[in-house]
């Protein structure tokens, strides 16, 4: 799911008319262009290739995750408000945005909102059942009826026991290193809106939302839930 040309009004984030038109280049920063010879692609490297990208007739760039992460792919985010230090600094990103705008090249970024990293400070706090962040993620106890259906849509174990708090299990549909958010929590929704506003204020032209259809997969929802799709639709309507 992609959201382009969003309003930067703090009270409204919407899709502009005619959004998403043109040819977009999907770009994995790590493997595209290395500016400093450390073997890892970076934001300065992309800047050095913008004339080449423009020559291809590209009208927009879609950056795969650029936030800090312990994985090579970046889809398990440690901090939604920072740049992966292997890719550069926030100043480097702001320069890239400015150079793109000089060439009328739109720039959107990947935004994984289905799950975070186990290293994210929100999840670290949520491991304590008494912490306010506990409800930010999908936690259950072994007595929960959902535990009996302990297979994710991806074919691996869904519920993962926290070794520090035995008897507490968190959902990780894609991986145990990617704990799933509780999207029913108003605080989580409000935080996601703050994240989007932060990057829109930086100058990005929109987002591509990873795993948008998995937020309400029935396998991780309460047993009485019969329709996860409509709930996912309502979630995204609220976000945009």
pLDDT at 6 over 50: no
Into which CATH architecture does domain 121-171 fall?
Answer: Alpha-Beta Complex (3.90)
Provide the 3-class DSSP secondary structure of residue 121: helix
pLDDT of residue 4: 47
pLDDT of residue 221: 73
Q: What is the DSSP letter of 62?
A: E
Confidence of residue 84 (pLDDT cuts 50, 70, 90): very high
**Cα 63 from chain centre:** 12
Classified by CATH at the fold level, domain 2-116+182-239 comes out as TIM Barrel (3.20.20)
Mean pLDDT of the chain: 89
| Closest C-alpha to 48, from 88, 75, 83 | 88
pLDDT tens track for 167-193: 999 999 999 999 999 999 999 999 999
| Closest C-alpha to 76, from 106, 46, 118, 47 | 118
Confidence of residue 51 (pLDDT cuts 50, 70, 90): very high
pLDDT at 119 over 60: yes
Domain limits of the chain? 2-116+182-239, 121-171
- Euclidean distance between the first and final Cα of the chain, in Å? 11
pLDDT tens track for 186-218: 999 999 999 999 999 999 999 999 998 889 887
Residues 6 or more apart whose CB falls under 8 angstroms from that of 157 comprise 150, 151, 176
What Rg do the C-alpha atoms of the chain give, in angstroms?
A: 19
The secondary structure element, H or E, covering residue 191 is helix 186-202
């Amino acid at each position: 799911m992609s959201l382009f040309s969003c309003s930067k009004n703090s009270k409204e984030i919407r899709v502009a008319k005619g959004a998403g038109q043109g040819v977009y280049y999907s770009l994995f920063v790590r493997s595209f262009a290395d500016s400093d010879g450390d073997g890892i692609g970076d934001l300065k490297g992309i800047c050095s290739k913008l004339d080449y990208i423009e020559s291809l007739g590209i009208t927009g760039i879609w950056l795969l995750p650029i936030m800090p992460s312990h994985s090579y792919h970046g889809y398990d985010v440690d901090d939604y408000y920072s740049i992966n230090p292997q890719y550069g600094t926030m100043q480097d990103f702001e320069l890239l945005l400015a150079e793109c705008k000089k060439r009328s090249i739109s720039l959107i970024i990947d935004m994984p909102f289905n799950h975070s990293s186990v290293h994210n400070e929100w999840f670290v706090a949520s491991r304590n059942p008494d912490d306010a962040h506990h409800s930010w993620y999908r936690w259950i106890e072994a007595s929960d009826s959902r535990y009996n259906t302990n297979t994710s849509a991806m074919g691996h174990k869904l519920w993962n026991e926290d070794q520090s708090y035995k008897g507490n299990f968190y959902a990780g549909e894609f991986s145990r290193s990617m704990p799933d958010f509780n999207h029913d929590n108003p605080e989580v929704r409000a935080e996601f809106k703050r994240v989007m506003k932060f990057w829109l204020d930086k100058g990005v032209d929109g987002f591509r939302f990873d795993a948008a259809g998995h937020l309400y997969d029935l396998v991780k929802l309460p047993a009485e839930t019969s329709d996860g799709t409509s709930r996912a639709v309502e979630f995204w309507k609220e976000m945009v």
